[in-house]
Structure 1
Amino acid sequence: MSLVNASRSELTKQFTTAIWWVLGLVLLVYVGSTAGGLAATFGALATGALGGDAVSGPALPTEMLPPVIYSLATAVGYVFPLLIGTLLVTNEFRHKTLTPTFLATPRRGIALGGKVVAGILMGLLYAVVALVATVGLGGGLLAVFGIDTALGSAETWAMIGRMVIAFVLWALVGIAVGTLVRNQVAAVVGVLAFTQFIEPILRTVGGFVEGVSGITEYLPGAASDALVGASIYSSLGGETAAVGLHWWAGGLVLLGYAVVLLVIGYAVSWRRDVS
């Protein structure tokens, strides 16, 4: 079977289950409510509609609001392409459908390549959903409060393009994790534990302990924020701002995670016998 046919087969598997649209819907609601709530709050602060004289000004300068609101797509939504990539592989192990997959595609590299192509397309799809939530809803609410949405700026569109790349890379990291960790429960729990607890704690420590930030900036979430070029966490002072990787370096670090984990997973897990 060719890579094209393998990719078509993987997409057919993906879209015949409900998990892709369930995760997409949760992504839309979660990121949209976060972006909308923060855009309304910061917009009200900027116009004096919230707090009146008791509030001295917005928590962020108005020119910083559009990139911070738009980047919520990756800052809080990156776990969704990561999960869909992980599930794309681990579902095969859980439901024991990998044997017919390998019978249809005996060349396991082609079979894995089909999943990579499917992951790239799912990453693009989820990026569109997340951007509808942040740029559409968040940007719309900024406009309601009279704040420039910066959508006429080439820099804003370059950032949006980098967010799309980040979503694709996160989907590839998820595929790599799923290839390496065959047990679906262990893979999903591990992904959630690392992204929602371990890395945030390490990055918070890095923002206050001298010398640690030089290490934590190479964590996958920090690399993703560097690639995008904006994050609410650094903007609100949770980390040392303006110190970190260049956007291209952040992209290379995140790509490196995907490639290294995928190679290891292929070598130690994907080539093993399946029942």
Structure 2
Amino acid sequence: MTLLTVERIKLFSTRSPWWCMILATALTVGLTSVFAATTKSRDLNDLTPSVTQFAYNFGLVVMMVMATLAVTTEYRFSTIRSTFLAVPRRTPALLAKVTVVGLVAGIVGEITAVGSWAVAKAIKPDAPLAIDTAQEYRNVFGVGLIYLLSAVLAVAVGLIVRQSAGAIVIELVYLLLLENLLPSIPTIGDNIQHWLPFTVGNNFIVAGQPETSDGPAVITGMPFGPWGSLVYFAAVCVGLFVVAGFLAKRRDA
């Protein structure tokens, strides 16, 4: 509990996490409010709970940046040395850090998801925005889990790279470019796409959603169902964190 308190204090002792949380919420909820406000009356039936989450990736990217900075700034200012001197085994300190950062990201993810749905319902009360099915519950309340696990992955990348700019660039290039470009490779592109971690993680949210929806993109032919996709995504994120923790213990701070 002491380590968790220490990591919480370290995280919120700088302004960047606060700005990241505000920006993630403002981007996601703001874009959804604009979308809902500009939806015409004849298109109200298309405004569903899944559609209210179309912008969740914007907030996800911001929270991954926050998670990365939570690690790399410690290496930049050498405060990580004090942490490892206080906790020579290092693993408990790293687990405390990833727990705090992951929980913060997960909470922000839930706030952005529920906020996006709530603001759309407030703007267009006649739209079919009731949450009734398991898919609709996952589409809204499952976003926080994806944020949490993505923060774990971002912390792992930060531990491996140890430089803010390099780690953030790697994450952005992979998330925004590679996962969109790799499926275009002839012959094997579709098979690769079905195993890309963020694509599989997204399937947890969108599985069962109509393919014609304006919500998060639906990829057909995925190897797992929604909960299997979540387990696969969690395994990738946790596995990378285990590798990062091993490297952090082997290398000098």
Counterpart among 123, 134, 140 of residue 105 in structure 2: 123
CA shift, 1:96, in A, is 0.8
Distance 1:211 1:68, change over 3 A: farther
Q: Distance in 2 between matches of 1:16 and 1:193?
A: 29
Distance 1:260 1:153, change over 3 A: closer
Is the aligned partner of 1:148 residue 2:128? Answer: yes
- Aligned to 1:20, what secondary structure does the other structure show? helix
- Contact (CA 8 Å) 1:123, 1:168: kept in 2 or not? yes
Distance 1:233 1:39, change over 3 A: farther
Q: Distance in 1 between matches of 2:25 and 2:97?
A: 24
- Contact (CA 8 Å) 2:110, 2:143: kept in 1 or not? no
Q: Distance in 1 between matches of 2:166 and 2:211?
A: 28
Q: Write the deviation string for residues 179-212 of structure 1: whole angstroms up to 9, x where unpaired.
A: 1111111001211222222223335x37xx6652
Q: Partner residue of 1:67?
A: 50
Between Structure 1 and Structure 2, how many residues are aligned? 251
- Contact (CA 8 Å) 2:17, 2:66: kept in 1 or not? yes
- Contact (CA 8 Å) 1:81, 1:168: kept in 2 or not? no
Give matches, 1:1-275, under 5 Å. 4-41=1-38, 43-44=39-40, 47-48=41-42, 58=43, 62=45, 65-70=48-53, 72-73=55-56, 75-143=57-125, 146-153=126-133, 155-203=135-183, 205=184, 211-229=188-206, 235=213, 241-244=219-222, 245-274=224-253
Q: Distance in 2 between matches of 1:229 and 1:17?
A: 35
Q: Percent of pairs identical after alignment?
A: 24
Deviates most, 244-253 or 164-173: 244-253
Task: Flag the structure with larger Rg.
Answer: 1
**Poorly superposed stretches of 4+, deviation over 6 Å:** 231-234, 237-240
RMSD of aligned C-alpha atoms?
2.7
Q: Distance in 2 between matches of 1:272 and 1:232?
A: 48
CA shift, 1:154, in A, is 5.2
Deviates most, 223-232 or 133-142: 223-232
CA shift, 1:266, in A, is 1.8
Structure 2: give runs of 5+ residues left out of the alignment. none
Q: Distance in 2 between matches of 1:235 and 1:77?
A: 20
CA shift, 1:152, in A, is 4.8
Q: Distance in 2 between matches of 1:222 and 1:174?
A: 16
Distance 1:215 1:194, change over 3 A: same
* TM-score of the two chains, using structure 2 as the length reference: 0.87
